[in-house]
Structure 1
Amino acid sequence: MTFCLGITVEDGLVGLADTRITAGNEMTTAQKLSTYETQSGAVFFMTSGLRSLRDKVATYFEEALESGPPPDKLYKAVNLFADLVRRVAKEDKEYLDASGLQFNIHTIMGGQFSADATHKLFLIYPQGNWVEITSGTPYHIIGETGYGKPVLDRTLKHADSIHFALKVGCLAFDSTRISAADVDFPLDVVVYSKGSFSLIEHRFEQNDLAHISTWWQERLRAGVHALPSEWIDAIAASLSPSSRKLHSKTED
């Protein structure tokens, strides 16, 4: 499985991608985040699904950027990538189906080009159709989607800073890593500041963020202990004396 998260806020974009690759009983590490800077702008993408599909589409995309005129708007790069997904589908889908494998590449692409008024973030489906990720729900996860959503839904707003978005994104990754055995470090991060036309990349190893994971877990436990409990007093009152004693110890 995969954890790739794209976030769009007023000041820019944040992308996070784990690097765990699972194939049967084997686990390896490989980059799922790719970045490109051209004369007309900057773009990054992250993928989930079969690694072979990602590598083939990425190779075609890089070749197209190098050989053709650079796009002046991000949606044109998205259309190019989508066309290449369809091309790979024509080449490989029949053989994958025959082997019992799915053509399941999903892609998050973000960036800004010279004719774009602002930065943008898109989700590209395996069929090559796409949607823009906007301020209403300013993030999208591909891969293992369930575990990171609660912290994002409760905290993230489009008006938040890039700094805040990166913090929340790392907590969403940590929540997923704790609960999903096939998502893990190293964690690749890309940050794009609106109007900069350049990307900042960084890789976090587990030791780099271990103290953040511990801090977050301790704050969650402290928050539960501090939670107002008058709404459960009636239940607590009905417990047997031994149960009340045990209940009291667990709250110490």
Structure 2
Amino acid sequence: MTYCVGMRLDKGLVFMSDTRTNSGVDNISTFKKMFTWENPGDRYITVMTAGNLATTQGVVSALEERTKAPHERKPSIMEAPTMFQVARIIGETLRDEILRTRSIAGESASSTFSASMIVGGQIAGMEPKLFMIYPEGNFIEAGDDTPFFQIGETKYGRPILVRAYDRDMSFHDAIKLLMVSFDSTIKANLSVALPLDLQIYASNSFAGRNRRIQASDPYYNLIADQWSDALKSAFHSLPDYTG
């Protein structure tokens, strides 16, 4: 399974993904799920993936190949004029990859080969954008009412995001919030695990700050331990039931 979050802030974008993939309890591996393409001063594009690993790797490979040898009918995300067009290209590539694999294997695209993606970034002269792309190739854009997207195992980490997110929060607070969200997910589902990949994108920088968070990371473990203690303290401070 997977857990990825893309978050839109006034200051820019923040991305976090886990790295665990599994085919049963005895076949667990670590694979990168966050990918970036950049052209300094012109554009910065990040993609996070969830779903069938072969499908997502096929999409990423196709996108990468087009940056090196663009095709007239299959444009490169590095030449798209807007982030909307970037999302459209990636959505069409995902849809085509699912259909291609289904035609070979004869499986339903809605099950075995399904995948979804979060796409975010900025092109010069425009505001940073964030999209969620569905297996069918269609997509939605983050806005004021939906300022973050999750893919993969979303339910365990969502409550803290809904309660604590604030669009004008600092990057430091956003990272803290994401760590709590991921810690909640990891504790509830064995198919999501460290290491985690973190990326911070400040608006108009056209450069990201990237970090891999290992299981031994002292700050992550401090946040996890103190969040657990804070929840226990909050629980015990609630009034007793008198019914």
TM-score w.r.t. length of structure 1: 0.86
Max radius of gyration: which structure?
1
Report the Cα offset of residue 30 of structure 1: 0.7
In structure 2, distance between residues paired with 1:178 and 1:88: 33
| Aligned residue in 2 for 1:210 | 221
| Corresponding residue to 2:168 among 159, 163, 166 | 159
Moved over 6 A (4+): none
Q: Map 1:195-206 onto structure 2 (within 5 A).
A: 195-206=204-215
Q: Is the 8 A contact 1:15 1:190 kept in 2?
A: yes
Instruction: Identify the residue that residue 8 of structure 1 maps to in structure 2.
Output: 8
Q: TM-score, normalised by structure 2?
A: 0.89
| 8 A contact 2:176–2:223 mirrored in 1 | no
Match of 2:125 in 1: 115
Question: Which amino acid in the other structure matches residue 104 of structure 2?
Answer: Y
| Change beyond 3 A, Cα 1:59–1:178 | same
- Tell me the SS of whatever aligns to 1:115: coil
AA aligned to 1:6 is: G
What is the Cα deviation at residue 99 of structure 1? 8.2
- Compare the two structures and name the one with the higher helix fraction: 1
| Distance verdict in 2 for CA 1:114–1:72, change over 3 Å | farther
Q: In the TM superposition, what are the counterparts of 1:1-252 in structure 2 within 5 Å? A: 1-24=1-24, 25-39=26-40, 40-68=42-70, 70-98=79-107, 101-116=111-126, 118-208=127-217, 209-227=220-238, 229=239, 232=241, 234-235=242-243
Gap runs ≥5 in structure 2:
71-77
Instruction: State the superposition RMSD in angstroms.
Output: 1.7
Query: SS of the counterpart of 1:35?
Result: strand
User: What's the CA shift string for 1:156-195, capped at 9, x where partnerless?
Assistant: 0222222222211111000000000100000001110011
Alignment deviations for residues 5-30 of structure 1 (CA, whole Å, 9 cap, x no partner): 11101111111100001012310111
- State how far apart, in whole Å, the 1-side matches of 2:93 and 2:209 are: 26
Contact 1:96 1:103 in 2 (8 A): no
- Percent identity, aligned pairs only, is 30
CA contact (8 A) 1:35 1:44 kept: yes
Structure 1 alignment gaps of length 5 or more: 236-252
